[in-house]
Structure 1
Amino acid sequence: MRTKPLIRAGLAALALAFASGAALAESLKVGYLPVTGHAKFFVAKEQGFFKQEGLDVELVEFVNSADGLNAVVANKLDIGAFGTTAPLVHYSRGADLKIIGGIMGEDAAIIVKPENADKIRSVADLKGKKIATIRLATGDAVLRAALKDQKIDWKKDVEIFELKSPPAVLEAVKSGQVDAGVTWGPHDIRAERQGLKVVIRTGELQPGHPCCRLVVKSERLKEGDTWDRFLRAILKAEKFAAQNRKETIDAIQKYVKLDRDILEQGYYSPHLEQGTDPNVKGTQKFWTTMVSSEFIEGSRPLQPAFALDPYHRALQGLAKEQPNDPFWKQKLKAEQERNVL
């Protein structure tokens, strides 16, 4: 006769335990761009990696890096990944930001109408041209540095129009309002399918350049192991995406409303670098090119912008859990090579 009350008591205790666990999950607002390069956010959410790390993550969409970084600076987001240009511009102006990791690298391209493809084959051919970019996008800064290398003054020798989003850039090129446009993946694929031509990729101009750094306000680093756990989830997502193509594209489709084949071609592209580490070396080089091209003043030293411990602890922990896994061995090697000034 006492069995049913005991069962009920056990179920009640189990329900309470689950409720307590849910209550203890730490809530985070994470800013992203609706692009294939941000797939690790989507995979970590849909595959439950954030939950495994005790995080209740709300993904907040932005159409460009400038707006997203403004939200981080204004404390409207806990963390975001918004290009390399946007965080470095804010940092150069005195913002108290820390780079703790990355989401992607490269993956931007210069597009033109097909009749202009033979006329614009190199950066030098852009002199005197009208160029559309996305405000504070990584590809924008790479282009300006490349123009400077060609002795082309981007302030005088070309006309640069900073637009709001990749679709706006595609439309400006298609309509003939500009001679060329700089966009990011997978909108380069969309451009080609709409009859435009990719003539230059930013990976050719600055091989291995970083994009979309994971950025937090400095004060947020004092909050225990939050960012260790966050980066563990992102690293798990990176590994999962490398090994599970169908499920990865399923996750991306929930956040990027484009055809599935475009998403697959975009994410598994040879032009998209997938590392989660801060890529200190690459970011330092990017900073140097921004300074030399007069995009920023660069009087502030860059080293204080990095907080490397969370990524190091996250990676070390995962590697110890699976010491023979070649994926983690490769990540450990990359950390040693890329994350030093």
Structure 2
Amino acid sequence: MLRKSWVYLLISALLIGILAGCTGADTEKDKSDAKGEQTVKIGYFPNLTHIATIVALEKGYFKEAFGKGVKIETKTVANGGLFMEAMATKAIDIGTVGPGPLLNFYVKNPEYHIVSGAVNGGAVLVARDGTGISNLKDLDGKKVAIPVIGSTQDVMLRKALKDVGLKAKTSGGTVDLFAAAPADTAGLFIQKSVDAAATQEPWGYVLENQADGKLLLDWDQFAWGKESTNTVVAARKDFLDKKDLTKAYLSAHQKAVDFIQNNPEEAQDIVIAHLKELTGKELNKDEVNAAFSRLIVTTDVNEKVIQEMADISKEAGYIPSNKIDGLIDLSILKEASK
């Protein structure tokens, strides 16, 4: 059975949904208040792979970089689709999201851009014990959980399946992709409702240790391995046009990445405390530490991998075109990093 702390997390996911609906809900009349302050709306997931945003908030890096006269608002969301919808309605200006949902929106409306990397890796493929699955080819005819249709883990799974000659059912293949919130996947394993899961951390670790899961592909083997871009910094074009604000955000983001790389244990403690403040529940330190060992915090972006993600998304029918020239703009990051 799931440990009590993780049962709490399932409940916390509902609380996070409420938080997501309540934060950053102001109208877009003008990004300034009565005092003439500008407002920057930062979005992120309450998730380990969004550690750079969390650390930058908690360490005050954003506040320091923006300076006086800029008000910071935050909005938490549960998945990339909700993040991009919030960005489209201008409830989010800039923040961290998976590249899958971002490029899906970009192809339809090229006003959204990747302006930095945030995390590589951080996702694994886990099989349920008792399914007889010991390698990728054994997924033939099986049901595999993904966070949401079109998510980064969805695209990564399709890449892994393609490498062994398999396809998802929706693409004329035999593997059934089943959308489920990562926090619900352990319950699905216990109920034997799915045979495997492509998921981000710390949920992969939870499946292994609390739901009799067996690691099928570790983070450095799944899809593009260590080059698998899990999380990026995304921004709308109208925010990028305010170059000083974008540069300030990215300088704070770079500072957070440097801090995490040099102080991994303290960074993990910051995330645990931040998520406890959001949800009222505390993540297990050992689980977070183990999950953290399966990701790389970085500002790098592998453009070849992003293009391959677009190619796979087009093959899956998620987007009408795989032409993503202009999606990635790292020019301001380069200035901010000097």
Bin the TM-score by the shorter chain.
Answer: 0.7 to 0.9
Where does residue 253 of structure 1 map in the other structure? 272
1:51 counterpart residue number: 63
Contact 2:185–2:197 (8 Å) recurs in 1 = yes
Partner of 1:12: none
TM-score by length of 1: 0.78
Is 1:189 aligned to 2:190, yes or no? no
Structure 2 partner of 1:223: 242
Equivalent in the alignment of 1:157: 174
Residue 169 (structure 1) aligns with: 185
Quote the offset at 1:128 in angstroms: 0.4
- Unmatched 5+ residue regions in structure 1? 1-22, 317-341
Amino acid in the other structure paired with 2:84: L
Using the TM superposition, give the Cα deviation of residue 202 of structure 1 relative to its aligned residue in structure 2, in angstroms: 5.2
TM-superposed deviation, 1:152: 2.0
Task: For residue 60 of structure 1, give the secondary structure of its aligned residue in structure 2.
Answer: strand
Check 1:297–1:35 CA distance in 2 against 1; reply closer, same or farther (3 A cut). Answer: closer
Q: How does 1:1-341 map to 2 (within 5 A)?
A: 26-54=38-66, 56-116=71-131, 119-135=132-148, 136-154=150-168, 155=170, 156-163=173-180, 165-194=181-210, 195-201=212-218, 203-204=220-221, 205-207=223-225, 208-256=227-275, 257-267=282-292, 269=293, 271-291=294-314, 293-297=315-319, 299=321, 301-316=323-338
Question: How large is the RMSD of aligned CA atoms in angstroms?
Answer: 2.1
Asked if the contact 1:50/1:56 (under 8 Å) is kept, the reply is: no
> What are the ranges of 5 or more consecutive residues in structure 2 without an aligned counterpart?
1-34, 276-281
Percentage identity across paired residues of the two chains: 25
Larger Rg: 1
**8 Å Cα contact 2:110-2:327 kept in structure 1:** no
Identify if the C-alpha distance between structure 1 residues 148 and 282 changes in structure 2 by more than 3 Å, giving closer, same or farther.
closer
Q: Deviations over 1:174-205 (max 9, x none)?
A: 21011111211011112222032221235413
Q: Write the deviation string for residues 22-49 of structure 1: whole angstroms up to 9, x where unpaired.
A: x787532211112212111111111121
**Aligned partner letter, 1:35:** N
How many residue pairs were aligned? 288
Counterpart position of 2:17: none
* Cα displacement string for residues 276-325 of structure 1 (whole angstroms, at most 9, x for unaligned residues): 2343233223323434x434446352121122211110112xxxxxxxxx
Q: Is the Cα contact below 8 Å between 2:224 and 2:305 reproduced in 1?
A: no
CA distance in 1, matches of 2:317, 2:285: 37
Q: 2:326 aligns to what SS in structure 1?
A: helix
TM-score normalised per structure 2: 0.79
CA distance in 2, matches of 1:92, 1:227: 22
Report the alpha carbon displacement of residue 143 of structure 1 after superposing the two structures with TM: 0.7
